Chain A
Amino acid sequence: MNHFALPRLSIRFFPIWRRHWLVWKKIAAPSILGHLADPVIYMLGLGYGLGSLLPEMGGMSYMAFLAAGTVCYSTMNSASFEALYSGFARMHEQRTWEAILNTPVSLDDVVLSEILWAATKSLMSGAAVLAVIWILGLSQSLMSLWMIPLALLIGLTFAAIGLIMTALAPAYDFFMYYFTLVITPMMLLCGVFFPVTQLPESMQLVAGALPLTHAIDLARPLMSGTVPPQALLHIAVLLAYTLVSFYVSLVLFRRRLSR
């Protein structure tokens, strides 16, 4: 049983995904509200508050500027919360994984289902914020529809990265490190609230290596109706983060659960 073997992807993840979906359906209403409320409150609060002081940012109204960033960071948060807290609950506290692994389903399928489910949550929360954006008239272009598959991709990326934390976590409090040292800095460095170009050179270099920056570099142009420059580069960075993180998390899970 080689811990370092490449993941074997198969359709067997699907019944696990269905299970997560069935659980979610039971708590759908509060879940949707939760995913929507936080980002929309920020968006409206800062958008109107700062927006009235700032004439424009990055070639658009501050509200619109912030909206594109909000879609990205809300999908990042949905995926991260799901992969970390819910994933840990399933793996460790409820022993759901243990039950599933006693059947003809392998750990590779379970981890794949966690990533795809967290990405599904991201898709839902991204789409919900997008709906608010359309209702407020912040985007007038059909190009913004591309933000839906983008939300899925962002979800995949941050789910995969988050699962590395889940594989390493001894307890729930461990996740504080991730949110404080990784997620929050990303929210501030990657162009959600202000352009990356406002940062000192060195920080701009750091931001350029972070996945959220690339997500936002795709989201903003799409929302304002233009094809993002260097789109393939940004997509490639997100995919690279996803695939490498998926592999690393799988190796770590194999180690952790092989006792």
Chain B
Amino acid sequence: MSAVIRATGLQKSYGGNRVVDGLDLSIHRGECFGLLGPNGAGKTTTLRMLLGLIAPDAGTAMLLDLPVPQAAREARIRVGVVPQMDNLDPDFTVAENLLVYGRYFGMQDSEIEARIPSLLEFASLTSKRDAKVPTLSGGMKRRLTLARALVNDPDVIFLDEPTTGLDPQARHLIWQRLRELTQQGKTLLLTTHFMDEAERLCHRLAVMDNGKLISQGSPRELIEQNIEPQVVEVFGETSGQWANEHAANYAQRFEVSGESVFCYVQDAQPLVKQLQAQTALRYLHRPANLEDVFLKLTGREMRE
């Protein structure tokens, strides 16, 4: 399996701050790879280095077997980018946005025109072909941005928080489309804050914090390797008090967060039995998920 994207020892500092600190990454053809991390972890800087938009201070990056940023222009012929914030042309219609963008890849107008119908269909925007961008909803704009990223039929697609700000219908449609893309053999590298998205879409994930990769693997592996298998969330005014008195007897680990307590356990039965007797408390028993992993690895505190 060839590595479509490869980073070795990437480093980048801004004003004395190590934003990316010795990053190694290897993404294979047809994979959907997720990069998770709190704000300021260095995800966007990493993406920009892998795209060849900025040069690392140390280390190497390869995109489609070409060194970046040295051969970035050549590499980007087969790359599509869905940025975090929309940058569509507001003066143009949906179809015109696709036409104008395709030209930047050196495509002929006839080539692009031939692809537009299938791109519109992929994005469910066929009826909006001649609609001006400001008339589109947020979900439609995001779908257009995705279609635009595919105008050159790329092998690799970078997506920076692709479904932030979208309603559930729009998110599900985009997920469906992204899954279709990996089925077509395209490679996806995405960053996201949505753990359900990461779990659903990604074959492999990496968690970044303070410029470093702190954990890597499939969603299943990340959960198994980093956290207890069961979680019992306890809610109520007296939950904190209850936790300090009893939680340690039943759970390997617990965290108090306001009026909620998160108990992490191997076997939840004894704990659940104990809680059923507590009338002032409500509880929720569920399997551990990526968000639990994420919060454990990067903490519950806000980053300012």
Within 8 A of B (CB), among A52-104: 94-96, 98-104
Which of B53, B69, B91, B104 has the most chain A CB atoms inside 10 A of its CB? B104
Given A23-B89, A99-B101, A103-B104: A1 in contact with B55 (beta carbons within 8 A):
yes
Within 8 A of A (CB), among B39-84: 51, 53-55, 69, 73-74, 76-77, 79, 81, 83
Contact A99 B83 (CB under 8 A): yes
Residues of B within 8 A of A96 (CB): 87, 89
B296 near A: Cβ within 8 Å?
A: no
Contact B106 A104 (CB under 8 A): yes
Residues of A within 8 A of B105 (CB): 103-104
Cβ-closest chain A residue relative to B77: A104
Q: Kindly supply a per-residue 1/0 record for chain A positions 1-36, scoring 1 wherever the CB is within 8 Å of any chain B CB and 0 otherwise.
A: 100000000001001101100110011000000000
Residues of A within 8 A of B69 (CB): 1
Give CA–CA (A98, B82) in the complex, Å. 11
Contact A98 B87 (CB under 8 A): yes
Given A1-B55, A106-B73: A26 in contact with B104 (beta carbons within 8 A):
no
Residues of B within 8 A of A22 (CB): 92, 96, 100
Q: How far is the CB of A97 from chain B (nearest CB, A)?
A: 8
B103 near A: Cβ within 8 Å?
A: yes
Give CA–CA (A100, B76) in the complex, Å. 11
Residues of B bordering A, CB below 8 Å: 14, 51, 53-55, 69, 73-74, 76-77, 79, 81, 83, 85-92, 96, 100-101, 103-106, 152
Which of A12, A102, A105 has the most chain B CB atoms inside 10 A of its CB? A102
Contact A18 B100 (CB under 8 A): yes
Residues of A within 8 A of B79 (CB): 102
Cβ-closest chain A residue relative to B75: A104
Contact B87 A94 (CB under 8 A): yes
Give CA–CA (A23, B90) in the complex, Å. 10
Closest 9 CB pairs of A and B: A15-B103, A95-B87, A1-B55, A102-B81, A103-B104, A99-B87, A104-B76, A104-B73, A23-B91
Give CA–CA (A23, B87) in the complex, Å. 15
A258 near B: Cβ within 8 Å?
A: yes
Which of B79, B100, B101, B152 has the most chain A CB atoms inside 10 A of its CB? B100
Contact A102 B103 (CB under 8 A): no
| Other 7 A-B pairs with CB < 8 A, given A94-B89, A104-B73 | A15-B104, A16-B104, A22-B92, A22-B100, A95-B85, A96-B89, A100-B104
Give CA–CA (A26, B79) in the complex, Å. 30
Give CA–CA (A104, B79) in the complex, Å. 9
Residues of B within 8 A of A101 (CB): 53
Q: How far is the CB of B71 from chain A (nearest CB, A)?
A: 10
Q: How far is the CB of B203 from chain A (nearest CB, A)?
A: 24
Q: How far is the CB of A220 from chain B (nearest CB, A)?
A: 38
Cβ-closest chain B residue relative to A16: B104
Cβ-closest chain A residue relative to B103: A15
Give CA–CA (A23, B93) in the complex, Å. 11
A256 near B: Cβ within 8 Å?
A: no
Q: Kindly supply a per-residue 1/0 record for chain A positions 99-136, scoring 1 wherever the CB is within 8 Å of any chain B CB and 0 otherwise.
A: 11111111000000000000000000000000000000
Cβ-closest chain B residue relative to A2: B55
Cβ-closest chain B residue relative to A259: B14
Give CA–CA (A12, B55) in the complex, Å. 22
Give CA–CA (A259, B49) in the complex, Å. 10
Given A16-B104, A22-B100: A102 in contact with B92 (beta carbons within 8 A):
no
Contact B103 A18 (CB under 8 A): yes
B101 interface neighbour in A23, A103, A259, Cβ under 8 Å: A103
Q: How far is the CB of B89 from chain A (nearest CB, A)?
A: 7
Q: How far is the CB of A2 from chain B (nearest CB, A)?
A: 9
Contact A19 B83 (CB under 8 A): no
22 A-B interface contacts by CB (under 8 A): A12-B104, A12-B106, A15-B103, A16-B104, A22-B92, A22-B96, A23-B92, A95-B86, A95-B87, A99-B88, A102-B51, A102-B81, A103-B76, A103-B101, A103-B104, A103-B105, A104-B73, A104-B76, A104-B77, A105-B73, A105-B104, A259-B54
Q: How far is the CB of A149 from chain B (nearest CB, A)?
A: 27
Given A98-B83, A98-B87, A258-B54: A15 in contact with B100 (beta carbons within 8 A):
yes
Give CA–CA (A164, B83) in the complex, Å. 27
Cβ-closest chain B residue relative to A97: B87
Residues of B within 8 A of A99 (CB): 83, 87-89, 101
Q: How far is the CB of A100 from chain B (nearest CB, A)?
A: 6
Residues of A within 8 A of B92 (CB): 22-23
